[in-house]
Amino acid sequence: MNSSVMNTYNRYPVSFREGNGAWLTSLDNKKFLDFSSGIAVNILGHNHPEINKTFEMQANKIWHVSNLYTIPEQELLAKKLCELSFAEKVFFCNSGAEAVEGAIKIARKFQSFKGSVERNEIITFKNSFHGRTLATLAAASNSLHTEGFNPIPDGFVNIPLDENILKKTISDKTAGILIEPVQGEGGINPVSNEFLVFIRKLCDENKILMILDQVQCGMGRTGKLFSHEWSGIEPDIVTLAKGLGAGFPIGAVLASEEASKGMQQGSHGSTFGGNPVGCSIALKVIELIEKEEILNNVTRLSGILICELEKLVEKHHNKISGVRGKGLIIGVECIEKNSVITDLAFQNGLLLVNAANNVIRFLPPLNISENEVMEAIKKFDETLSNLDI
Ligand SMILES: *Cc1c(COP(=O)(O)O)cnc(C)c1O
């Protein structure tokens, strides 16, 4: 197609006319079961009537005022996020990368505010993904993404997920440790609870900050509102975006009072961050997660989806080799090329997402039904069978 849009994505030859729950209808009226959810964004499916109503009501009141004024919707959302977590302060932005940038700035400022200006390095992990801005690219240190964009900012040490290496890497230059509790783009790698507990301990001992990037695995995706809840620890900083607005762009950095004490008037900002529309919607999303008992649904259907996928691994053992994940962020390891399988699944009306290391991601909306899960399994089974033809 001759497009004026910059060529940064390999796009499927399809456009969607409308969405309804877990289903999308293309311009040529084909139905697709959406197990991509806009890459973990549409956590309550498409066209949720209550979210639409909230959007409309807010849009008819006020869209944007700058952060030069107090924004009541922002105050309410920040209060709610704090009530539901370890956090005592929230900074609002518009995307995941921006949230991670904010987290990095907060960690460095925390150290410099205490007088440890030289403590400015952030430890990160192999196979991670933190966004596409220069600092977040530097954080993930993935050469596929940094190629051609030199100079990449320094101040990051990227290491394997290994307790001994981590312990040895911490130095008097370390400001904090940044990790995804479940790596998303990297191929759905859940970090063990023990590893998170270990990081917490190291951070306490060394007076450095524990930063959890939950842009993809937060907002109920793992069956808890925040994925670290599984491990019992409390981090110092958490980043959110993707699912927070269930389709409306909004990001947030959650921090403890202590971690954010260096952040003062003028330390950071965002013109659009925390606008009334995004904040009203995110508040409604959180309310719906509570009201519709979404987290129970995630855990119940996670069990079913993983069990059914494991059966398919047995049946198609020459094409797929394993299943891993937590809640409704599930990865299938492939033997055949993942993109060949997802292209065929697409043709069969099932939307899935590729991840690194030849993994296919299943990211259905969190309010998906059991019937829809079984429908996806049927389509995936057919897809794998059709690979032979
Ligand atoms: C998607 C993602 C980001 C980047 O989010 P954008 O909104 O695309 O900037 C950062 N961290 C993680 C873990 C992600 O999955």
- Could you tell me whether strands 209-213 and 174-179 are parallel, antiparallel, or unpaired per DSSP bridges? parallel
Work out the pLDDT band at 100, boundaries 50, 70, 90. very high
Q: Ligand 1 center to residue 275 CA distance, Å?
A: 20
Ligand 1: nearest atom to the Cα of 185: 15
Q: Ligand 1 center to residue 185 CA distance, Å?
A: 9
Phi, psi (degrees; rounded to nearest 5) at 26: -80, 170
Which of the following CATH numbers is that of domain 71-291: 3.50.50.60, 3.40.50.970, 1.10.10.10, 3.40.640.10?
A: 3.40.640.10
- Which uninterrupted H or E stretch holds 325? strand 320-326
Is this structure's pTM higher than 0.95?
Answer: yes
**pLDDT number for residue 182:** 98
**Nearest CA owner, ligand 1 atom 15:** 216
Residues with CB under 6 A from ligand 1: 95-97, 100, 129-131, 180, 184-185, 213, 215-216, 241-242
**pLDDT number for residue 42:** 98
The answer to whether the beta carbons of residues 9 and 353 sit under 8 Å apart is no
pLDDT(389) > 80: no
Q: Ligand 1 center to residue 43 CA distance, Å?
A: 15
Could you tell me the two tokens for 207? 């007076």
What is the chain's mean pLDDT, rounded? 97
Q: Measure the CA–CA gap between 130 and 215, rounded to whole angstroms.
A: 8
**pLDDT number for residue 116:** 94
Q: What is the pLDDT of residues 149-194, one digit of tens each?
A: 999 999 999 999 999 999 999 999 999 999 999 999 999 999 999 9
Q: Ligand 1 center to residue 147 CA distance, Å?
A: 19
Q: Average of pLDDT values for 231-246? A: 98
Ligand 1: nearest atom to the Cα of 95: 7
Q: What is the pLDDT of residues 329-379, one digit of tens each?
A: 999 999 999 999 999 999 999 999 999 999 999 999 999 999 999 999 999
**pLDDT number for residue 266:** 96
**pLDDT number for residue 58:** 98
Q: Measure the CA–CA gap between 264 and 248, rounded to whole angstroms.
A: 28
Domain ranges of the chain: 71-291
Ligand 1: nearest atom to the Cα of 214: 13
Q: Which of 185, 106, 170, 181 is nearest to 140 (CA)?
A: 185
Q: What is the pLDDT of residues 118-160, one digit of tens each?
A: 999 999 999 999 999 999 999 999 999 999 999 999 999 999 9
**pLDDT number for residue 118:** 96
- Could you tell me whether strands 16-20 and 329-334 are parallel, antiparallel, or unpaired per DSSP bridges? unpaired
Q: What is the pLDDT of residues 37-78, one digit of tens each?
A: 999 999 999 999 999 999 999 999 999 999 999 999 999 999
**pLDDT number for residue 273:** 98
Radius of gyration (C-alpha) of the chain in whole angstroms: 21
Ligand 1: nearest atom to the Cα of 183: 13
Amino acid (1-letter code) at residue 190? P
**Nearest CA owner, ligand 1 atom 10:** 130
Q: How many CB atoms lie within 10 A of CB 295?
A: 18
Q: Which of 92, 130, 353, when mutated, tests ligand 1's pocket best, judged by the most ligand atoms within 8 Å of its CB?
A: 130
pLDDT(388) > 90: no
Q: Ligand 1 center to residue 353 CA distance, Å?
A: 14
